[in-house]
Structure 1
Amino acid sequence: MAAMKPPAPYLPVPYPALSQADQEGLSDLYIRGTPVNTLRAYERDLLYVTAWKAARFSTALDWPEAEATALAFILDHARDLNEAPGTDVARETAEALIAQGLRKSLTCPAPSTLDRRIASWLAFHRMKNLTSPFGTPQVKQARSKARRAAARPPAPKSQHPITRDILEQLLTTCRGRRQDCRDRAILMLGWASGGRRRSEITGLMREDVSCKEFDDKGLVWLSLLETKTTIKGETPRLVLKGRAAQALVHWIEVAQIRDGPLFRPISKADRVLTRRLSPDAIYQIVKHRLKLAGLPEDFASPHGLRSGFLTQAALDGAPIQAAMRLSLHRSMVQAQKYYDDVDIAENPAADLLG
């Protein structure tokens, strides 16, 4: 029997008592049971920590990893290296990672970035039934101190929210070609259904869309398999009304989509292809429409559809609970931030100086 290929570190370690077929089934179970975005993050983080250790210690990852390595990883990512001397080992390591395109700058990474990479490293150890060094008291304390030392206001995921007026400017750039029909449907669905994430938009299949009530009531129902805040099978249906529903139905008819991915690439000859649109394509679409509308390409990102929906809901006086029914925010605190920004701008106490 051929030797079984060792699984990736984010897949379960081989069990001697399992047959090769059962082991492959277990790995497949982990892949199917893990959100696609999480698997993607695992792969990126594995590439990063592997390159970091190779540059820092000229050696491969150990399983389990040494506590001293875990501490060094935290220390290297807990300070700004711009002022560090050129011979500083942390700076040399960071420069090597920048050269490989794995790190953007010598600036101290955001605490959330460090937390995510450590969480991935922890997950790799769990998959191998090993104890992670990041769980030891000293490393846990160092991690807590690093988080506090590097604390700063979180950068917005989109420079500006795409509120209704901005959305209207983007929609005016969508004229009559199939690409325009698709982009209009994407923008309107992404905004009007509660501010959908890129992966949620591109993950939609034709069978996830019900147009049975469109002719009589003007409603289109969406069934998301899962979102960042919900699990498979427990995501409530979402509804599109009015222009958003019309735009989506028009796209389905124009593209003649009867099954398979809902949103697809379009060739230069304006022909609809069969494969799924990638999440990165949503970023490119927003960037392209901003440019056509005469706005800076970095004015907003796809997350601006989500933040713009909630900001507009606050501006229009919609109850936050109603907005959350569509946005599917799990945390009231998180959704409240968009309402707070609107409320404080309208607070009469802010006008006391005149």
Structure 2
Amino acid sequence: MTQAIALSLTVPPVLSKTDEIALTDLYVRGTPANTLRAYERDLIYLTAWKGIRLKQGLNWPETESTALSFLLDHARDLRDADLGDPARVTAETLIKAGLRKSLTCPAPSTLDRRIASWRAFHRMRNLNSPFEAPLIRQARTKARRAAARPHTPKSARPITREVLEALLEACGSSLRGVRDRAILAVGWASGGRRRSEIVGFRCEDVSLEDFEKQGLIWLNMVETKTTQQGRTPRLVLKGRAARLLVAWIDAGGIGDGPLFRAISKADRPLARGLSPDAIYQILKRRLQQAGLPENYATPHGLRSGFLTQAALDGAPIQAAMRLSLHRSALQAQRYYDDVEITENPATDLLE
């Protein structure tokens, strides 16, 4: 994950080798893990695209003509392009290399993220980005509008309370089941946590001081996608979700290190934590055991399900956002808007 930082960072010549290493380490430690992974993927893609398209390596600073070519190549559907079109030939090569999925126009969010990474690489080198040029800024705006798509949910369906109950029931009584039940309950009840956030919890992030008397567990998160490091508010678990988490901690003998960890074939906890993909695999397995299709929902369904259930129960959106940690009320409102009008609690006010 440090390759993007290391390769993209150019330090002033007055710095010693020791200071150069220290500065690179500072960038790595000060950048969220998810952002580092995105930088890594984007650097690989950008390098491959330019090498194939222009037969050159990346320049610092990059030229405006290269930036414009990149924008234009990714702002149209290449299925309709001539077979010899350089943009199409490049895209087909990237597809064969596993770096691109299809010839269709990438989603505006994907293009925006890659450009944002490219701009970040320039900032790391203390250089101006060509994407700040007026012509390219205007072209980006037009490309975003031309490729605008209807909003599609990240999960096929939200995991509402009814679905969650079925998943919890399907977990069984083994240690693996106790763990999976805690993962699903914590991921849902703490505000709909992302996969990376769930596997990122460590024992020191969990405070049980109020559990015996009040049934409350406090969760500390270092950072999230929408909050800065050290500025993430504490989250609270109570009721059954709190009890299920304590059951896992007690059954697994979890005293330090990763909160949720791998389990051996002998049904014993291991020292290593889970990867974000493990949450997907756990959910897929429990969906099947609950009698639902494995593609019924993705892990994001925990997040969308929490907000959807909050809307169904008539919880104010501001209260739900205090747990979900959505930065934008408009984004959170989408889940409230997805609730069927006949199920909206406001329709029962007279009753």
TM-score (norm 1): 0.93
Gaps of 5+ in 1: none
How does 1:238-257 map onto structure 2 within 5 Å?
238-257=235-254
Whole-angstrom distance in 1 between the partners of 2:109 and 2:42: 13
Which residue, out of 198, 206, 211, partners 1:214? 211
State the one-letter code of the partner of 1:195.
G
Aligned length: 344
Does 2:291 correspond to 1:294? yes
RMSD: 1.9
Which residue, out of 5, 8, 11, partners 2:6? 8
1:83 Cα deviation (Å)? 2.2
Does 2:252 correspond to 1:258? no
| Structure 1 range deviating more: 113-122 or 221-230 | 221-230
1:169 Cα deviation (Å)? 1.3
1:140 Cα deviation (Å)? 1.2
Change in 2 beyond 3 A, CA 1:119/1:9 = farther
Once the two structures are superposed, what CA deviation does each residue of 1:140-183 show, in whole Å capped at 9, x if it has no partner?
A: 11111111110111321111111111111111110112111111
Is the 1:194–1:309 contact (alpha carbons within 8 Å) kept by the matching residues of 2? yes
Is the 2:167–2:290 contact (alpha carbons within 8 Å) kept by the matching residues of 1? yes
Match of 1:134, SS state, is: helix
Whole-angstrom distance in 2 between the partners of 1:134 and 1:154: 26
1:346 Cα deviation (Å)? 4.6
Whole-angstrom distance in 1 between the partners of 2:297 and 2:33: 24
Does 2:172 correspond to 1:175? yes
1:288 Cα deviation (Å)? 1.6
1:7 Cα deviation (Å)? 6.0
Whole-angstrom distance in 2 between the partners of 1:309 and 1:38: 25
Does 2:39 correspond to 1:38? no
Change in 2 beyond 3 A, CA 1:274/1:152 = same
Does 2:216 correspond to 1:230? no
Does 2:150 correspond to 1:153? yes
1:84 Cα deviation (Å)? 2.0
Whole-angstrom distance in 1 between the partners of 2:216 and 2:192: 18
1:228 Cα deviation (Å)? 1.3
Whole-angstrom distance in 1 between the partners of 2:282 and 2:79: 35
Q: Which residue of 2 aligns with 1:76?
A: 73
How does 1:43-58 map onto structure 2 within 5 Å?
43-58=40-55
1:344 Cα deviation (Å)? 3.9
Whole-angstrom distance in 2 between the partners of 1:342 and 1:219: 30
Does 2:109 correspond to 1:112? yes
Q: Which residue of 2 aligns with 1:195?
A: 192
Change in 2 beyond 3 A, CA 1:127/1:307 = same
| Structure 1 range deviating more: 264-273 or 163-172 | 264-273
Change in 2 beyond 3 A, CA 1:121/1:231 = same
Change in 2 beyond 3 A, CA 1:320/1:19 = same
Whole-angstrom distance in 1 between the partners of 2:279 and 2:94: 28
How does 1:68-147 map onto structure 2 within 5 Å?
68-147=65-144
Whole-angstrom distance in 1 between the partners of 2:92 and 2:267: 43
State the one-letter code of the partner of 2:62.
E
Whole-angstrom distance in 2 between the partners of 1:136 and 1:159: 39
Is the 1:9–1:128 contact (alpha carbons within 8 Å) kept by the matching residues of 2? no
Which residue, out of 281, 304, 309, partners 1:307? 304
Gaps of 5+ in 2: none
Which residue, out of 62, 66, 76, partners 1:65? 62
Does 2:278 correspond to 1:281? yes
State the one-letter code of the partner of 2:146.
A
Q: Percent identity?
A: 68
State the one-letter code of the partner of 2:138.
Q
